[in-house]
């Protein structure tokens, strides 16, 4: 299995519009972050978790020429806004693209993309096949078994996902003990770490580090990063052993 980080930034991305801070003006490509998403590849399967506003460019940049499904963590704009751009995959694959989401996230998709769900439909609109995720049960896409992990993003329930020894969690500031049990035993964890200062709905870097330490995961990569966290190389070099800042384009092989 191969994991490509399509984006590792928070909802505003980096550079932040109008900002001239050292991070936003950095010449280091690792300080440029699109909205958070990952691409999961196996020999036979290609899926993306979340399709934010940068989806089109992310697909082009990573050369994602085949897409079997999109899996959504939740319905916030920075995770769903690029759904319209699946039309290219409809054209080349000549079929609807399966979309996996909870009922709550499906409602957000229907609000944001009402024209996809018109009846009757009309030519040229995105073609999707909705599949409902039960947050309490694993589901499968081809040969991949995916276990949902329920986390809180302030008061909103968001899903993380475990696939084999890999766990991906974004937009969280609380994970219940019973959900943390689902993460234990992972070889690699991806977890959100927004900034150093407290935030109402995201882990700080220190909080994310503490969660990773409690789980004793061998490798942890932090994502959903804001410009307030600091320069990539400076922050990354100060992290405990086995912990890293992710960056756009990072590839992990399992």
pLDDT in tens, 10-43: 999 999 999 999 999 999 999 999 999 999 999 9
Domain carrying residue 237: 2-253
Instruction: For residues 216 and 179, give the distance between their C-alpha atoms in angstroms, rounded to a whole number.
Output: 15
Q: What is the pLDDT confidence band of residue 110, given thresholds at 50, 70 and 90?
A: very high
**pLDDT tens digit sequence for 175-218:** 999 999 999 999 999 999 999 999 999 999 999 999 999 999 99
Point out which residues pair with 78 in neighbouring strands.
none
Nearest to 192 by CA among 215, 168, 170, 162: 170
Q: Give pLDDT, residue 53.
A: 98
- Report the CATH number that the domain containing residue 20 is assigned in CATH: 3.60.15.10
Q: What is the pLDDT of residue 214?
A: 97
Percent of the chain with pLDDT over 70: 100
pLDDT of 119 reads 85
| Rounded Cα–Cα distance for residues 28 and 49 (Å) | 26
pLDDT of residue 122 exceeding 90, the answer is no
- Total count of domains within the chain: 1
Encoding tokens for residue 133?
Answer: 């995720």
Residue among 54, 74, 65 nearest 5 (CA) = 54
Joined tokens for residue 116: 């996809």
How many whole angstroms separate alpha carbon 221 and alpha carbon 229? Answer: 14
* pLDDT tens sequence across 226-245: 999 999 999 999 999 999 99
pTM above 0.85, yes or no: yes
Which residue from 103, 106, 180 is spatially nearest to 134, judged by alpha carbons?
Answer: 103
């Amino acid at each position: 299995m191969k994991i490509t980080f399509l984006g590792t930034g928070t909802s505003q991305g980096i550079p932040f519009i109008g900002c001239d801070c050292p991070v936003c003006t950095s010449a280091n490509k690792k300080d440029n972050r699109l909205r958070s998403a990952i691409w999961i590849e196996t020999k036979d399967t290609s899926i993306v978790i979340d399709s934010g506003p940068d989806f089109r460019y992310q697909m082009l940049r990573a050369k994602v020429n085949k897409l079997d499904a999109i899996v959504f963590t939740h319905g916030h704009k920075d995770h769903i806004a690029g759904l319209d751009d699946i039309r290219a995959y409809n054209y080349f694959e000549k079929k609807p693209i399966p979309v996996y989401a909870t009922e709550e996230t499906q409602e957000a998709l229907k609000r944001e993309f009402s024209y996809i769900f018109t009846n009757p439909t009309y030519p040229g609109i995105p073609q999707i096949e909705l599949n409902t995720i039960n947050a309490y049960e694993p589901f499968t896409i081809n040969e991949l078994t995916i276990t949902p992990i329920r986390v809180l993003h302030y008061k909103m329930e968001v899903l993380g996902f475990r696939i084999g020894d890999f766990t991906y969690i974004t937009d969280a500031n609380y994970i219940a003990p019973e959900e943390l049990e689902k993460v234990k035993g992972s070889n690699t964890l991806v977890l959100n770490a927004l900034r150093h200062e407290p935030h109402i709905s995201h882990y700080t870097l220190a909080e994310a580090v503490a969660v990773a330490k409690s789980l004793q995961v061998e490798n942890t990569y932090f994502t959903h990063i804001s410009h307030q966290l600091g320069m990539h190389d400076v922050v990354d070099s100060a992290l405990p052993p086995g912990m890293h800042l992710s960056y756009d384009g990072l590839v992990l092989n399992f």
